[in-house]
Amino acid sequence: MSDSEMIRIPAHLQGYPGVAFGGYVAGVLAGQAAAEHVRVDFRRPAPTELPLRLAGTPDGGCALTADETLLAVAVPVGSTGAVAGLPEAPSWAEAEAAAEACRAAPPDGQTDCFGCGLDRTPATGLRQHCGPVPGRELVATAWVPGAELAARDGLLPPELLWGALDCPGNAAGRLLDGRPAGAVTASLRAAVLRPVRAGERLVSYSWLLSSAERKYTVGTAVADADGELRAMAEALWVVPRSAVQGRP
């Protein structure tokens, strides 16, 4: 990338209110890094609708700052192959049933998130409404990207595919590990294997890799309705102390 450029993340691309959606932010930084395999580490929440600076780093990565405050950094990493514990994708029918179960009884703490918000339409969000898959230690959702989210070539922009690898990890922590609302993505390492097209039937799913104190790690993947893998990720999530202290 050039030495630096200014960007502004629109308000509708939020995760928590006023905070830019982490998966999208990670995808933007990964797209600017001079490497095929990238890990994005988050330092502080990135605000929406404010000027932010993207700048290259000496190692070929990319940093996002507000004034002089570091918000996130993309770090080139070596290829590590498949994400740990990568399971076979659920079927479309299993993922559709899991999504319907989520929408019928959503977890508390739901926000107007671009990735998983229940009030988002296919035109305004990714609708990652993950529910548990019976008989398997994973969560999943069936989803179809809206045409309004696609680029002119009909493909979902890579930063939105990174976004689809984010929220399922939150659902895995809540539904498989009993985590409270309010967890945030601390690190996301992803690989886009094949692009996806608006109107395709897709399955996002996530599984727990480790859990200790306020942190947990997950694997997440996106496949098509035939089970062909399109993208995968490994993420570290952190539950803020305030969320833990506020539990009954």
pLDDT tens digit sequence for 37-51 = 889 999 999 999 999
- The rounded distance, in Å, linking the Cα atoms of 186 and 236 is 5
The pTM assigned to this predicted structure is 0.93
For the chain, which residues score pLDDT lower than 70?
A: 1-2, 79-82, 109-110, 244-248
Using the CB atoms, write b or e for 59-69: b if 16+ within 10 Å. eebbbbbeeee
- The rounded distance, in Å, linking the Cα atoms of 103 and 186 is 26
Q: What is the pLDDT of residues 95-148, one digit of tens each?
A: 999 999 999 988 876 678 999 999 999 999 999 999 999 999 999 999 999 999
Q: Which residues contact 152 (CB under 8 A, 6 or more apart)?
A: none
pLDDT for residue 33: 86
Q: Which residues contact 155 (CB under 8 A, 6 or more apart)?
A: 195, 196, 197, 198
- The rounded distance, in Å, linking the Cα atoms of 121 and 114 is 10
